[in-house]
Chains A and B, each alone.
Chain A
Amino acid sequence: DAGVIQSPRHEVTEMGQEVTLRCKPISGHDYLFWYRQTMMRGLELLIYFNNNVPIDDSGMPEDRFSAKMPNASFSTLKIQPSEPRDSAVYFCASSLGGQSLAPLHFGNGTRLTVT
């Protein structure tokens, strides 16, 4: 049973470059979440989707960040242009919503370093 799959595992890029992070949720899950983790701010929810539709993007830091979910099995988080302060670990998570309130299943994250 494959869990949430994120790629790449590590990304190092220069300031100003475009960065795309990828996520494959667990099959059958209808919620997908993007989180960012830093030492200073802890875990921050950036955006989440329900049935491929963005529900709450109030955590997206600014217009440089965008997220898409073109189908139930794939999502991307894009940063354009990237800045050093975007350096963090980005996690994708998926779950079943509705009445079950099932827990979130997290991927292993993408460690982003912007120099």
Chain B
Amino acid sequence: GNSVTQMEGPVTLSEEAFLTINCTYTATGYPSLFWYVQYPGEGLQLLLKATKADDKGSNKGFEATYRKETTSFHLEKGSVQVSDSAVYFCALRVLQGAQKLVFGQGTRLTINP
């Protein structure tokens, strides 16, 4: 089946620190991969995506590279800000069969000034 495993949280960092949130997946087809972010009191928003191997998705200073050989899509940012505090979800969606989005469990990130 299709599944996503994320690094367990919560993660607490100081402002300007380097961030990595690990994400690995299993999929029966060829998935597209996504990172979503959820700010307090809001719905999920797409942060970035990648649709094929070696693609790099990027947005707002965040990056993630689609690694087919390690089935990973780790989220990174070089210098985090307090405003990056949120819950981050890794997700996949496959073209074959049911086209539902499969989410990881989410990682809560808190950035201290």
Q: Interface residues, chain A, CB within 8 Å of chain B?
A: 4, 31, 33, 42-43, 45, 48, 50, 55-56, 91, 93, 97, 99, 101, 103-109
Contact = CB atoms under 8 A, between A and B. Distances in A.
Contacts of A93: 43-44, 101
Interface of B: 32, 34, 36, 41-46, 49, 51, 89, 93, 95, 98-101, 103, 105-106
B32 A56 contact: no
Chain A residues touching B, majority SS:
strand
Contact of A43 (B32, B42, B93, B103): B103
Contact of A48 (B43, B100, B103): B100
28 contacts: A31-B99, A33-B101, A42-B103, A42-B106, A43-B103, A45-B100, A45-B101, A48-B100, A50-B99, A55-B98, A56-B98, A56-B100, A91-B44, A97-B99, A101-B32, A101-B51, A101-B93, A101-B95, A103-B34, A103-B46, A103-B49, A104-B44, A104-B46, A106-B36, A107-B43, A108-B41, A108-B43, A109-B42
Contact of B100 (A33, A91, A103, A108): A33
A99 B49 contact: no
B90 to A, nearest CB: 11
Ranked nearest first, the 6 interchain pairs of A and B with the lowest CB-CB distance are A106-B43, A103-B46, A106-B44, A101-B32, A108-B43, A43-B103
Q: Which of A43, A56, A105 has the most CB of B within 10 A?
A: A43
A105 B49 CA distance: 13
A91 B43 contact: yes
A42 B34 CA distance: 17
A97 B105 CA distance: 24
Contacts of B103: 42-43
A109 B87 CA distance: 15
Nearest to A109: B43
Contact of A106 (B45, B93, B106): B45
A43 B104 CA distance: 8
A4 B98 CA distance: 22
Contacts of A4: 43
